[in-house]
A and B are shown apart, each in its own frame.
Chain A
Amino acid sequence: MPSPGETVPFLDPLPGRSGITSWIFSTDHKRIGMLYLWCILAMFAVGVVIGVLMRLELIAPGRTIMGAQAYNAMFTLHGVVMVFLFVIPGIPAAFGNILLPLQIGAEDVSFPRLNIFSWWLYLTGAALAVTSLFTGGGPPDTGWTFYVPFSERTTTNVSLAVVAVFILGFSSILTGLNFITTIHRLRAPKMSWGKLPLFVWSLYATAWIQLLATPVLGVTVALVFIERLLGIGLFDPAKGGDPLLYQHLFWIYSHPAVYIMIVPAMGVISEVIPAFARKSIFGYKAIAVSSLAIAFAGSLVWAHHMFTSGMSDTAVLVFSFLTFVVAIPSAVKVFNWVATLYKGSIHLEPPLLFALGFIFLFSVGGLTGLVLGSAGTDIHVHDTYFVVAHFHYVIFGGTGFGLFAAMHFWFPKIFGRMYDRKLANASWYLLVGGFNMLYFPMFLIGLMGMPRRYYDYLPMYQTGHMISTAGSWVLVAGLVTMFWGLSKCLYGPRTVGANPWGAATLEWTLPSPPPHLTFLDPPDEVPSPYSYAGVKRDA
């Protein structure tokens, strides 16, 4: 007779344990993952609203709906919220928590209590970040990079914001540590390294970056805090300090953080594409190794953010070269995904659509990244809208669409219900169309010289800005459609079987939604994660 924990879906309360505390103090990785998911989606909504307001301000030259100071606060908040509260924890903390133990046949992560502690840290950091908007000398206006000397001198509430980032950093470090240990220690007996799903490989690579790079961020923002409090002059040339030191410290974390954002999304794509091409992934080892290669090489390229900061030419050349090196493992992945699709038996379901969107948008973002990584051209486009367009293509087009693909892929597994696929498809067209309309003109006005982080501009850029702002409305329409399509089935009956897509990784052998307790006995057989022979769809 199995216990209730083995039969009751994890979304439903266990007998005698219900209410909010069964969620916010849960040590179940699936519930913690759901907590993260709701939080990051809420933060995403905040970030989107701020972004739309910024676009609205930029629809015409001059003051439209807000002044310069408000705009400065807006782009700072948009950056902080999107980067630290949405994108970085997005896929690893939400989907990684839910899926990592399921995909390796483990009962839970290695340190379940540390896991819920990480979420509490995240919540604390998020609360402090929000508090910093309404207290002190007004919302921070430094940009999410907190560059000195301005961040030391501005009277806005930077001190609290950097404390928030500091705490969020610890959340990220602990999650990384937890995942590394889990992947090493808790794999099912027959789950060898060569059978790990590629999503797990990507989480593994990401976790090492989280563990190694995030402490530097903690140190850096702590130093900004100390500078503001005590003024010891670490970054102040008048006191023997060096402002460039700050930029180095900041980007030593924040460039690898870009890979914390994108590598898990690449893992999602590596799961989705073979499942809908009904074909084993092309170049399993190459994709797995390229995740680690990106993590490693990506840690050595930080100073390409500083080509115009006055580094030596030698440093510029070396960092430019290393930046090009990172393009190689990224391209390896793209080619392998395309090769997987080749001659596949393609089922164009919403998750695959979003994955294809990822490949296209990420490729645009990646290739324009080479324009920026090349030291000569970077001088021309540095700090223009070209950069803004580039990183939105990578982060939103890449990580964002990776997250959307993950949501549409694992939604039936998590909720036991199928969303409205027609709405999902419609939202995809709106999203891709709106996305390109929003961000592509930024490449052009950036090349023409439109600097980033200004609330005003010359009339020559107005056409581009207007198209861009109109694109933001299409994009928002797409987001509304997508979340409407996903959420409207949430109150219907749970009808989805264990494996609606016919995928081959271990989580699809469990009921949808999975019960509270999973893999109390490790799976007897661990097939190859991308071998679809004999795998039946169970819608």
Chain B
Amino acid sequence: MRPIILLLVFLLLPAPLAAQTGVRQAREAAQALTAQEQATAGQAEQAVPPAEHSGHDVPAAQPASGAAADHSMHAAPDAPPQAPHVHQEPAPTAEGTQDVGVTEKLGGYIAAEAAFRDETGRPVTIGQIIDKPTIVVPIYFSCPNVCAIIQSSLTQVLPDVALTPGVDFQVVSVSFDETDTPELAANQRRNYLAAMDFKYPESGWRFLTGDEKNIRLLTDSLGFGFRRSGRDFLHPVVVMAVSPKGKIVRYLYGTKPLAFDLTMAATEAGREQIGLSVKRVLAYCFSYDPAGKRYAFNFMKITATGILFILGVLLVSLLLAGRKKRRPRN
């Protein structure tokens, strides 16, 4: 019996390994597809299903780990339910012609020249603001639900991020409503910092407002497609991690990003900096899976390291052990 069990174990052991490999291959294929679509279809096709909300529904604040949070699935009369991973045009509405959704521009650069105003009304450009790993949160202040929900959840999550806010990373909420003002921005910041009992540094969370031209400049560079619908907006629910040099490194979907995901995203964004060796190790163990929209334990790298380590131990012990001592014969 035992040999049969051993044989089965042998047969089954490699399965997860290869499964992981398969996932990675699929992942690469998905990335290639995304790039291809960007090249050919531009905004017309969406690589990622839009997570839009109409402004009327009551979204369940539950981050779907596998797909973009799609609030229209919950009783939205004007937007049909959309299955994840299906390329689909958003339903046409009366106002606006902009496509709603996310066209991932991983590896692209955020529009550094886009000019905004900070909470004090001082003019700043995106390039000036982004000098460290940054989580960009596109929202608008009068948003009746999801924007508030994502920002509220940030107040719960940010204290758990294992990095120093304002030093290792920052959060920048950018309003894409051109009617929002610096005063409203300052108000927002006060409210959300109050929700964290003012334990969070002001410099760790910025709120920007700007005019329509600069907003479009920014959102186009992020691949963030939205359009106005009356007083409200149709827009995806997503935050992006941007490196200190402005490179877009991650898209995190849903209303409640996990603290761990944010940490990883900021860490990856910080790779351009020196001095994050410990976090690099973390980044080594986990990689982003665009298909699943989450960080996955990097089975391949970990096992490969393990195998090389065991190999090294074998070689070193062989070399150190030297020759076997022979017993003298009688």
Residues of B within 8 A of A242 (CB): 22, 25-26, 29
Residues of A within 8 A of B25 (CB): 241-242, 244-245
Q: Is B326 an interface residue (CB 8 A)?
A: yes
Assess the B14–A184 pair: CB atoms within 8 A: no
Q: Is B5 an interface residue (CB 8 A)?
A: no
Contact among A184, A245, A521 with B22 in the assembled complex (CB-CB below 8 Å): A245
Tell which of B15, B23, B311 has the most Cβ of chain A within 10 Å. Answer: B15
Contacting B at CB under 8 A, from A218-246, are 218-219, 222-223, 225-226, 232, 234-235, 240-242, 244-245
Q: Is A189 an interface residue (CB 8 A)?
A: yes
Residues of A within 8 A of B21 (CB): 234, 245
Assess the B321–A184 pair: CB atoms within 8 A: yes
Contact among B12, B18, B23, B324 with A249 in the assembled complex (CB-CB below 8 Å): B18
Complex formed: what's the CA distance from A522 to B324 in Å? 12
Assess the A240–B323 pair: CB atoms within 8 A: no
Contact (A180, B11) CB under 8 Å given A186-B324, A234-B18, A244-B25: no
A164-204 interface bits toward B, Cβ cutoff 8 Å, 1 = contact, 0 = none: 00100000000000001100111101000000000000000
Q: Is A14 an interface residue (CB 8 A)?
A: no
Contact among B11, B15, B26, B321 with A185 in the assembled complex (CB-CB below 8 Å): B321
Assess the B323–A186 pair: CB atoms within 8 A: yes
Contact among B18, B311, B319 with A184 in the assembled complex (CB-CB below 8 Å): B319
B1-42 interface bits toward A, Cβ cutoff 8 Å, 1 = contact, 0 = none: 000000000111011011101110110010000000000000
Q: Is A490 an interface residue (CB 8 A)?
A: no
Contacting A at CB under 8 A, from B276-330, are 311, 318-319, 321-324, 326, 329
The residue of chain B having its C-beta at the shortest distance from the C-beta of A170 within the complex is B10
Complex formed: what's the CA distance from A97 to B50 in Å? 65
Assess the B311–A223 pair: CB atoms within 8 A: no
Assess the B19–A180 pair: CB atoms within 8 A: no
Assess the B319–A212 pair: CB atoms within 8 A: no
B82-119 interface bits toward A, Cβ cutoff 8 Å, 1 = contact, 0 = none: 00000000000000000000000000000000000000
The residue of chain A having its C-beta at the shortest distance from the C-beta of B318 within the complex is A184
Q: Is A533 an interface residue (CB 8 A)?
A: no
Residues of B within 8 A of A166 (CB): 10
**Count the A-B residue pairs with Cβ separation under 8 angstroms: how many?**
60
Complex formed: what's the CA distance from A181 to B317 in Å? 11
Contact (A189, B323) CB under 8 Å given A222-B10, A226-B15: yes
Assess the A181–B318 pair: CB atoms within 8 A: yes
Assess the A521–B26 pair: CB atoms within 8 A: no
Tell which of B15, B19, B22, B321 has the most Cβ of chain A within 10 Å. Answer: B22
Assess the A185–B324 pair: CB atoms within 8 A: yes
Assess the A520–B329 pair: CB atoms within 8 A: yes
Contact (A180, B318) CB under 8 Å given A521-B329, A522-B326: yes
Residues of A within 8 A of B311 (CB): 212
Tell which of B11, B23, B329 has the most Cβ of chain A within 10 Å. Answer: B11
A125 to chain B, nearest CB (A): 13
A221 to chain B, nearest CB (A): 10
Complex formed: what's the CA distance from A222 to B15 in Å? 9
Assess the A219–B18 pair: CB atoms within 8 A: yes
Residues of A within 8 A of B326 (CB): 522
Assess the B14–A222 pair: CB atoms within 8 A: yes
Complex formed: what's the CA distance from A166 to B19 in Å? 19
Assess the B323–A219 pair: CB atoms within 8 A: no
A196 to chain B, nearest CB (A): 13
Assess the A225–B11 pair: CB atoms within 8 A: yes
A38-57 interface bits toward B, Cβ cutoff 8 Å, 1 = contact, 0 = none: 00000000000000000000
The residue of chain B having its C-beta at the shortest distance from the C-beta of A519 within the complex is B326
B82 to chain A, nearest CB (A): 20
Assess the B22–A241 pair: CB atoms within 8 A: yes
B17 to chain A, nearest CB (A): 7
The residue of chain B having its C-beta at the shortest distance from the C-beta of A248 within the complex is B21
The residue of chain A having its C-beta at the shortest distance from the C-beta of B15 within the complex is A226
Assess the B14–A240 pair: CB atoms within 8 A: no
A88 to chain B, nearest CB (A): 20
Residues of A within 8 A of B18 (CB): 219, 223, 234, 245, 249
Assess the B329–A222 pair: CB atoms within 8 A: no
Contact among A223, A240, A522 with B26 in the assembled complex (CB-CB below 8 Å): A240
Complex formed: what's the CA distance from A482 to B321 in Å? 45
Complex formed: what's the CA distance from A100 to B315 in Å? 20
Complex formed: what's the CA distance from A184 to B319 in Å? 7
Q: Give 17 A-B pairs besides A241-B26, A242-B25, A522-B326 with Cβ atoms closer than 8 angstroms.
A: A184-B319, A184-B321, A189-B323, A219-B14, A219-B18, A222-B10, A226-B11, A232-B19, A234-B18, A234-B19, A234-B21, A240-B22, A240-B23, A245-B21, A245-B22, A245-B25, A521-B329
Identify 24 residue pairs between A and B in the complex whose beta-carbon atoms are under 8 Å apart, listed by A's number. Answer: A110-B324, A181-B318, A184-B318, A184-B319, A184-B322, A184-B323, A185-B322, A185-B324, A186-B323, A186-B324, A187-B323, A212-B311, A218-B10, A219-B14, A222-B10, A226-B11, A226-B15, A234-B21, A234-B22, A235-B22, A240-B23, A249-B18, A520-B329, A522-B326
